[in-house]
Structure 1
Amino acid sequence: MSKPKQARSVARLAAVQALYQMEVSGVGVEAVIREFTDHRFDRGIEGDGEGDPLAAADEAFFAELVRGVVGSQREIDAAVVKRLAVGWKLDRLDATVRAILRAGAYELSHREDVPVEVVIDEYVELAKSFFEGPEPGFVNGALDKVAQDVRAG
C-alpha cells in the first residue's frame, strides 16, 4: 500500500475510533481531535492488540472526517436509516458499526473525489478488523445502498 493510501486508511481507523469515543464518553469533537493529534498518532492505539506504532496518519483528513460526520450527522444518519431494514433504528446497531457507517456515509456524500469502491472497501476492511460475524457484510450492503442514493448519476 502506498504511503498516502496508508495514511488515509490510518486516518479512517482513527476517525471511527474517535466517533466511537465521542459517542460513549460524550467528549466534544475538538477535544477528541486534539487528543488523537497530541497523543495517539505515531503511537500504538490502545486496543489494537499489537502495540506497534501507528503508521503516519493523514491528520487533516482525519480531522475533516470527524468534524464532517459531527457537522452533518442528521443528514448522514437519515441516509443510513433510509437503507436499514424496515423497523430497524440506528441506535439498535453496535456503536462501532454506527461509527463505521457514519464515516463511510460522510465520505460517500461529501468526498466525491474518493471513488465509491475505495470508500466501501476501506470501511468493510475496518469492519473486518473489529468483527468476525456478519457486520462486514452488513456494512458493505448499507454503504453500497447509501452510495446509490448519494452518488446517483
Structure 2
Amino acid sequence: MARTRSRQNDNRQRRAARQRALQALYQWQLTGQSARDIEGQFLPDDGDQPPPERPPAVEPDRELEEALDMADTDLELFRELLHGVLDRMEEWDAQIAPHLDRAMASLDPVERLVLRMGAYELNERLDIPYRVVINEAVELAKCFGAEASHKYINGVLDKVARGQAMRAAEIERPRGRR
C-alpha cells in the first residue's frame, strides 16, 4: 500500500515537472530568454534573498502562487526537460517533421512544444515506457493545447516512437507484458 502511494506521488511529481517545463519552454518561446534565466524564475530561491521589509500593497494571487508552486515537482526532470528540449531542438524537430501534415512553424506553439518534449522523452528516457510518454504528452495537450490537439499529438508521437530502433522491441511486445 505504501509502495503504491509512493509511486503515485512520484507520478504526480513527474507530471508537475512536465507541466512546469512546458510553461518554462513556452516562456522561452515568447521571450527568447535563456534557459538558465527561465529556470531561475521557476525554481525556489536558495534563501540568499532577504525577505521584503514591508508586506506587499496588493494581496498576493493565491491561485497563481499555487500554479507556480514547485514544492511537489520533480525538479530534476523539470531541468532535464527544459535543457534537453532546448539543447537539441533541431534534432527533435527533424524526427517530428516527417510525421506532420503541415510545416513545423505553422503548428500551434503549445503543440510544437509538447511534441518536442515527447520526442525528447522518447529518445532520452528509455526507462519510461513509450505509451506513458505519449499519454503524458496527450494530457499536457488536453490541459494547455487547443481543443483537439491531443489527438494530433497522440498520432504524431506514436509515429515518432515507431521510427526509433531503441523502442522497437517495446512497441512490438504485446500489451501487459514486460
In the TM superposition, 1:40-55 aligns within 5 A as: 46=64
Name the TM-score, length of structure 2 as normaliser.
Answer: 0.74
Q: Post-superposition shift, 1:12? A: 0.4
After superposing the two structures, state which structure 1 stretch, 127-136 or 11-20, moved more: 127-136
Paired with 1:74 and 1:133, the residues of 2 have a C-alpha distance of: 27
In the alignment, is residue 82 of structure 1 matched against residue 98 of structure 2? yes
Aligned to 1:110: 124
SS at match of 1:27: coil
In the alignment, is residue 34 of structure 1 matched against residue 40 of structure 2? yes
Identity among equivalent pairs (%): 38
Paired with 1:147 and 1:59, the residues of 2 have a C-alpha distance of: 26
Per-residue CA deviations over 1:100-151 (Å, capped at 9, x if unaligned) read: 1111110001110110011011110111112452201000001111111122
Residue type of the partner of 2:113?
Answer: A
In the alignment, is residue 56 of structure 1 matched against residue 62 of structure 2? no
Gaps of 5+ in 2: 1-6, 46-60, 170-178
Per-residue CA deviations over 1:47-77 (Å, capped at 9, x if unaligned) read: x9x8695660000110001110111111101
Paired with 1:106 and 1:66, the residues of 2 have a C-alpha distance of: 10
Residue type of the partner of 1:59?
Answer: L
Per-residue CA deviations over 1:11-39 (Å, capped at 9, x if unaligned) read: 00111111111011101111111111137
Name the TM-score, length of structure 1 as normaliser.
Answer: 0.86
Please provide the CA RMSD for this pair.
Answer: 2.4
Equivalences, count: 146
In the alignment, is residue 138 of structure 1 matched against residue 152 of structure 2? yes
From 4, 15, 18, the counterpart of 1:9 = 15
Residue type of the partner of 1:78?
Answer: A
